[in-house]
Amino acid sequence: MSSISPKTLKKMIKTPQHCYQIAQRSKQDREICLQQSQKIRKFVPFELKKQDMSDCFLISEKLYGRQHEVETLLAAFERVKSSGTTEMILVAGAAGVGKTAVVKEVHKAMASSGMTRTISQRLDATRIAQPRSYFIQGKCDILQRNIPLSALVQAVEDLIGQLLSETDAEIQQWKSKILSALGEQAQIIIDVIPKLELIIGKQPLVPELSGITPQDTFILLLKNFLKLFTKKDHPLVIFLDDLQWVDTFNLTFIKSLMTGNSDTIRNNNHCDITLNNHTNQDDNEGGLLFIGAYRHNEILKTHPLCVTKNELKKTNVKINTMNLQPLNQANSNRLIADILCCSEALAIPLNQMVFAKTKGNPFFIRRFLKDLYDKGLMQFNFDVGHWECDITQVKALALTDDVIESMRIQVENLPKHTQEVLKLAACMGKSFDIKTLSILYQKSVVDTASDLWAALVEGLVILEVDNNKLFLNKNTYSGTISSQEGKQQLSNTNSIPQYKFIHERVQQAAYSLITDSKKQSINLEVGQLLLDNTSIEQRDEKIFDVANQFNVAVALITYKTGATKLQR
């Protein structure tokens, strides 16, 4: 079979910076191919999109200066895979320095090399016999610290989603293995993670045993479930982000999973929970790589993460910590050059200004350049083929050292109705769906999306889609936001859009707009609205979201009728 032409490959690329920017350039390349076919009856390779230019301002999400860190994480995976051992790597660094981006780059590298299975690989029948590792991820949320194992539950939901994308034959194999591991108590896992029912089917209700709560049993079963995927030839990779907000429950469970020993957790009722290994050991067991990311400047030596880390050092678990530093000037210059579509030499003057203000923080660099664009300080010069800006005006701009305050100012510049809907979204967490948000906002889904549109245009909130770029076309936005675009965008899709804040700092900034005296009452209102508008069938799925809102507002729950309703 003949190879795919570069022209076709280019059109298949999903990242905007590598695609054709203007349809005319694609047409010109096709005409060159046609001329070659007609005149010399063969194709001669030529450089694509040589004159391809666009006035779309693209914010590059490419990784810069992190090759060593990526190679370190890949080497750890290879060690775990070859030896069948367990290993923990912690990625530490300040907010915005790129901790999550490094781990995601590792995930992409693993998938492209066949270490982990992508959806396309799972659907490829020729690869069914080849075992692949699973990369799953969850995120700790400062607003969900009262929800036990919330980050790990997210990771397991991610894993189940991957299993559901496999072939019918593979799903049946997993069904058999999962039922064997969970036995007649599988419904306890389904109660917390309903998606599992799509794999193993409906399960009988589990009678409550004397002295053992469903929560205790859930922890035991979850450990057995995850051990199905920790095999020597295809180890499991678990990534938990924002561990500075992790709770003791998550950490104790991780410690037990990594050591393979029984452990004890003391829950909120001061009852001891013993984690025992109920699965049979075999020669192929083992192989777990845990990757955690956290802000090193937000934890003390007494933080639960530090305590757990010290305890694990006393075991056979290998632990390493990578301290991620800001970009140096050379890598900062490469990032800016890519955004400006110019040579590195031409980017030096602007880089010197930006680096002095951002200290090499990749997130701040991107936000600062977008601010320049939004303020009209950048123009695309078609004569030279790159972006230009006035260095004198850049020098006059200030970047506040207080990141949340900077984000808060940006949120405060949004229309009032957008600020109000963002406050409610911030209470829901970093990710939120428009349908639930509309219930809290007490407007229709379409009107809620319309009011949220300004935040979407500003890049503070994004749709959860598989893109490596955030882009904005200057021709479609001149400072006046059309809420009708948001309505049209929503009406053109049959699915419920899922949004997320571009960074947890933005979520914190939106949440900080709520005065302290009103935070509890708003969380109580959010919890009540969620409870009243969630059907009985969906209540199990939303129970943690509802409970978290009431936990924040627990001081305001004083009436017996309200307490009785919550218990139900």
Mean pLDDT is lowest, of 68-82, 252-266, 405-419, 422-436, for 252-266
Q: Scan for tokens 């025992």, then name that residue.
A: 276
pLDDT above 70: residue 310: yes
**255 Cβ contact partners less than 8 Å away, ≥ 6 residues apart:** 263, 308, 311, 312
pLDDT digit string, tens, across residues 458-499: 778 887 643 333 233 333 333 333 445 445 544 444 456 788
pLDDT of amino acid 480: 36
Give the mean pLDDT of 293-308.
89
Give the mean pLDDT of the chain: 77
Which of 489, 377, 463 has its CA nearest to residue 57?
377
Task: Tell me 212's DSSP state.
Answer: -
47-72 mean pLDDT: 78
Place of tokens 């230019």: 53
Residue 86 identity (one-letter amino acid) = T
Q: How many other C-beta atoms can be found within 10 angstroms of the C-beta atom of residue 339?
A: 24
pLDDT at 15 over 60: no
User: Across residues 29-58, what is the average pLDDT?
Assistant: 70
Q: Which residue has the higher pLDDT, 135 or 271?
A: 135
Summarised one tens digit per residue, pLDDT across range 394-405 is 777 655 545 556
Q: For the chain, give the percent of residues with pLDDT over 90.
A: 30
For residue 495, the model assigns a pLDDT of 57
Given this model, what pLDDT does residue 242 score? 92
Hunting for tokens 């002095």 — which residue is that?
A: 356
| Cβ(355)–Cβ(364) below 8 Å | no
Cα(62)–Cα(326) distance, integer angstroms: 15
Architecture of the CATH domain 67-124+131-323: 3-Layer(aba) Sandwich (3.40)
Tens digit of pLDDT for each residue in 136-150?
999 998 777 777 888
pLDDT at residue number 136: 95
Four-CA torsion 247, 253, 258, 263, nearest 10 degrees: 120
Q: Residue 274: what pLDDT?
A: 45
Please state, in angstroms and rounded to a whole number, the distance separating the CA atoms of residues 323 and 294. 10
273: closest CA among 219, 346, 194, 326? 219
The pLDDT of residue 18 is 54
Per residue, the 3-state secondary structure of 311-347, as one string, reads HHHCCCCEEEEEECCCCCHHHHHHHHHHHHCCCHHHH
Give whole-number Cα distances, 399 to 180, 365, 368, 396, in Å. 57, 10, 8, 10
Residue-wise pLDDT tens digits, 500-535: 887 777 888 888 888 877 888 887 887 887 777 777
- Res 536: pLDDT: 72
Q: CA-to-CA distance for 553 and 67, rounded, in angstroms? A: 45
pLDDT in tens, 176-189: 999 999 988 899 99
In percent, how much of the chain has pLDDT > 70? 74
* 21-31 as b/e: b if 16+ CB within 10 A: beeebbebbee
d(CA 205, CA 215) in angstroms, rounded, equals 15
Q: pLDDT by residue (tens digit) across 195-253?
A: 999 999 999 988 776 667 667 778 889 999 999 998 887 889 999 999 998 988 889 89
CA dihedral of 293, 419, 358, 334, whole degrees rounded to 10: 80
C-alpha–C-alpha distance, residues 118 and 103, integer Å: 16
Q: What pLDDT, on a 0 to 100 scale, did the predictor assign at position 462?
A: 81
pLDDT at 1: 39
Residue 378 has pLDDT above 60, yes or no: yes
State the CB neighbour count (10 A cutoff) for residue 119.
12
Domain boundaries, the chain: 6-52, 67-124+131-323, 329-399
Q: The tokens 């675009």 sit on which residue?
A: 485
Confidence of residue 128 (pLDDT cuts 50, 70, 90): very low
Confidence band of 58 (pLDDT split at 50, 70, 90): confident
